[in-house]
Amino acid sequence: MHFDYVIYKITFPNGKIYVGKDIGGSGHSLRYFGSWNNALVAQDLTKEQLSDFTLRKEILFESNDKNEVSKKEGEFILALRANEVAIGYNQTHRPRAKK
């Protein structure tokens, strides 16, 4: 079965993750690897890691319902703690600073 929309997890060489969705209608696109903040990732990687690295892309969820994928993306970000600075690069769903 073909799915138009997916949620994926990218794992970087330093072990941190990014959770995203591909709702461009291509599903398992080989060309799309997310829209993380390049500056955040680059500051965490050593020169050696930037010179020769592998990204791992895992498909976590598939659907033909764009709204379902959008909702599930947030659930995966929270469940995998990809929004916590020490674990991931997701900027959404960040814990609020306590006053």
Residue pair 56/46 in contact (Cβ under 8 Å)? The answer is: no
Per-residue pLDDT of the chain (99 residues; tens, 9 = 90+): 778 899 999 999 999 999 999 887 666 666 666 778 888 888 998 888 888 988 999 999 999 999 999 999 999 999 999 999 999 999 887 666 555
pTM score, two decimals? 0.84
Give strand pairing partners of 11. Answer: 17, 56
Least Cα distance to 22 among 12, 34, 9 occurs for: 34
d(CA 4, CA 58) in angstroms, rounded, equals: 16
**Beta pairing class for 17-22 and 5-11:** antiparallel
> For all residues of the chain together, what is the average pLDDT?
86
For residues 66 and 72, give the distance between their C-alpha atoms in angstroms, rounded to a whole number. Answer: 10
